[in-house]
Structure 1
Amino acid sequence: MNFFKTFKHDTWVKPYIKQYKGLLITALILGLLTSFCAAALMFTSGYTIDKAATHPVNILLIYVPILLTRAFGIGRPVFKYIERLKSHNWVLRVTSDLRTRLYKTLESDASFFTEHHKTGDIMGLLSEDISHLQNLYLRTIFPAVISYLLTIIGSLALGIFNPSFGFFVFLLLFVEVFIVPLFSVAIESARRAYQKEVKSDLYVQLTDNILGVDDWIISGRKDDFKNLTSKNIHDLDQSKNKSKAFRRNRDFALQLVFAAMVVCFLIFTNLTMTHNQEQANFVAAVVLAVFPLSDAIIPVSQGFEEWPVYKDSILRLNTIKPVPNTLPEQVELKPADFKTLKLDNITFEYNDDSPILIKNFSQTIKRGEKLALLGPSGIGKTTILQLILGDLSPQQGQVKINDLDISQIQVHREQIFSVLNQKPFLFNTTLLNNVRLGNEHKSDAEVKKALERVGLKDLVESLPDKYNTIVGENGSRFSGGEQERIALARILLQDAPIVLLDEPTVGLDPITENDLLETFFDVLKDKTIIWVTHHLQGINHVDHVVFMNSDEIEMEGAPEELYQSNAHFQELYKMDQGL
Structure 2
Amino acid sequence: MTKKNDTRLLLSKNDTWVRPYFRKYRKLLILVLFLGLLTFICGSALMFTSGYLISKSATRPENILLVYVPIVLTRGFGIGRPVFRYLERLGSHNWVLKMTSDIRLKLYRSLETKASQSKSEFQTGKVLGILAEDIEHIQNLYLRTIFPMLIGLLLYTVIIIAFGFFSIPFALLMLLMIGLLILVIPLMSVLFNRANVYRRKEARHILYNQLTDSVLGVGDWQYSGRHDEFLTSYNESEAQVRKAEEKLNRNSRIQDLVIQVVFGLIVIAIFIWAGNYFTSNGMNGANFIAAFVLAVFPLMDALGPISQGVTEFPNYEDSAERLHSLPSIDSELDTINQQAEEVSSTSGNVSFENVSFNYEGSEKVILNNLNLVVESGSKIAVLGKSGTGKSTLANLLRGDLKPTSGVIKIDEKDISTINDMSKVVGVVNQRPHLFDTTIMNNVRLGNVAASDEEVLVAIQQAGLQSVIDQLPLGADTKVEEGGKRFSGGEQQRIALARILLQDVPIVIIDEPTIGLDPITERQLLKTMFDVLKGKTVVWITHHLMSIEEADRVIFLSDGKIMMNDTPLNLQKSNTHYQTLLALDNN
Q: Is the 8 A contact 2:52 2:290 kept in 1?
A: yes
Structure 2 CA distance for partners of 1:92 and 1:61, relative to 1, 3 Å: same
2:299 alignment partner AA? L
216-225 or 161-170, larger mean C-alpha shift: 216-225
- In structure 2, the residue matched to 1:290 is 296
Please list the CA deviations of residues 226-255 of structure 1 after superposition, one character each: whole Å capped at 9, or x if unmatched. Answer: 433333333433333333343334324422
**What is the alpha-carbon distance in structure 1 between the residues aligned to residue 238 and residue 497 of structure 2?**
46
TM-score (norm. length: structure 1): 0.84
- Give the corresponding residue for 2:65: 60
Residue 31 of structure 1: CA displacement?
1.5
Q: How do 1:518-557 and structure 2 match up within 5 A?
A: 518-525=526-533, 527-557=535-565
- 1:452-507 C-alpha deviation (Å, 9 max, x unpaired): 44344455565565433444555465554433221111223334454321222345
> Could you tell me the percent identity over the aligned residues?
45
Matches for 1:438-453 after TM superposition, within 5 Å:
438-453=446-461
**1:25-60 Cα distance to aligned partner (Å, 9 max, x none):** 332222111111110111112222222332324433
Q: CA–CA distance in 2 between the matches of 1:490 and 1:257?
A: 65
Tell me the TM-score normalised to structure 2 length.
0.83
The one-letter code sitting in structure 1 at the alignment partner of 2:73 is L
| 2-structure distance, mates of 1:409, 1:294 | 55
1:433 aligns with 2:441: yes
8 Å CA contact 2:383–2:543 kept in 1: the answer is yes
2:354 corresponds in structure 1 to: 347
Is the contact made by 1:481 and 1:508 (CA closer than 8 Å) also made in structure 2?
A: yes
**In structure 2, distance between residues paired with 1:19 and 1:493:** 36
Instruction: Pick which of 443-452 and 188-197 moved more.
Output: 443-452
Cα 1:331–1:358 change in 2 (3 A) is farther
Once residues 394 and 228 of structure 1 are traced to their aligned partners in structure 2, the CA distance between those partners, rounded to angstroms, is 35
Over the aligned positions, Cα root-mean-square deviation in angstroms equals 3.9
Kindly state the Cα deviation for residue 297 of structure 1 after the two structures are TM-superposed. 1.1
Contact 1:346 1:394 in 2 (8 A): no
Give the structure 2 partner of residue 361 of structure 1: 371
Give the equivalent residue in structure 2 for 1:376.
Answer: 385
* Separation (CA, whole Å) in 2 of partners of 1:55 and 1:100: 65
Give distance in 1, aligned partners of 2:203 and 2:504.
49
1:241 corresponds to 2:246: yes
Q: Per the alignment, in what secondary structure is the counterpart of residue 512 of structure 2?
A: coil
- Distance in 2 between the 1:334 and 1:261 partners? 68
How many residues are aligned here?
573
How far residue 205 of structure 1 moved from its aligned partner, in angstroms, is 4.5
Q: Which amino acid aligns with 2:238?
A: I
Q: What is the aligned partner in structure 1 of residue 179 from structure 2?
A: 174
Indicate conservation of the 8 Å contact 1:269/1:283, yes or no: yes
| 1:146 and 2:142 aligned | no
Alignment partners' CA distance in 2, 1:313 and 1:274: 54
Q: Equivalent residue for 1:567? A: 575
1:133: which partner in 2? 138
Partner of 1:75: 80
User: Deviation at 1:528?
Assistant: 4.5
Q: Is the 8 A contact 1:372 1:542 kept in 2?
A: yes
SS at match of 1:434: helix
> Aligned equivalents of 1:410 and 1:198: distance in 2?
36
Moved more, 540-549 or 109-118: 109-118
- Asked whether the 8 Å contact 2:434–2:482 carries over to 1, the reply is yes
TM-superposed deviation, 1:348: 1.6
C-alpha separation in 2, matches of 1:416 and 1:259: 67
Aligned partner of 1:11 in structure 2 is: 15
Whether 1:304 and 2:310 are equivalent positions in the alignment is yes
SS in 1 for 2:354: strand
Q: In structure 2, what residue type is equivalent to 1:569?
A: Y
Question: Are the counterparts in 2 of residues 387 and 399 from structure 1 also a CA contact under 8 Å?
Answer: no
Q: What is the CA-CA distance between 1:347 and the residue it aligns to?
A: 1.7
In structure 2, stretches of 5+ residues that fail to align are none
Asked whether the equivalents of residues 342 and 362 of structure 1 are also in contact (C-alpha less than 8 Å), the reply is: no
Residue identity in the other structure for 1:11: D
Instruction: Out of 175-184 and 5-14, give the one that drifted further.
Output: 5-14
Is the Cα–Cα contact under 8 Å of residues 454 and 485 in structure 1 kept in the other structure?
Answer: yes
Unpaired runs of at least 5, structure 1: none
Paired AA for residue 307 in structure 1: F
Question: Cα–Cα, structure 1 residues 351 and 209, in superposed 2: closer, same or farther, change >3 Å?
Answer: closer
Partner-residue secondary structure (3-state), 2:545: coil
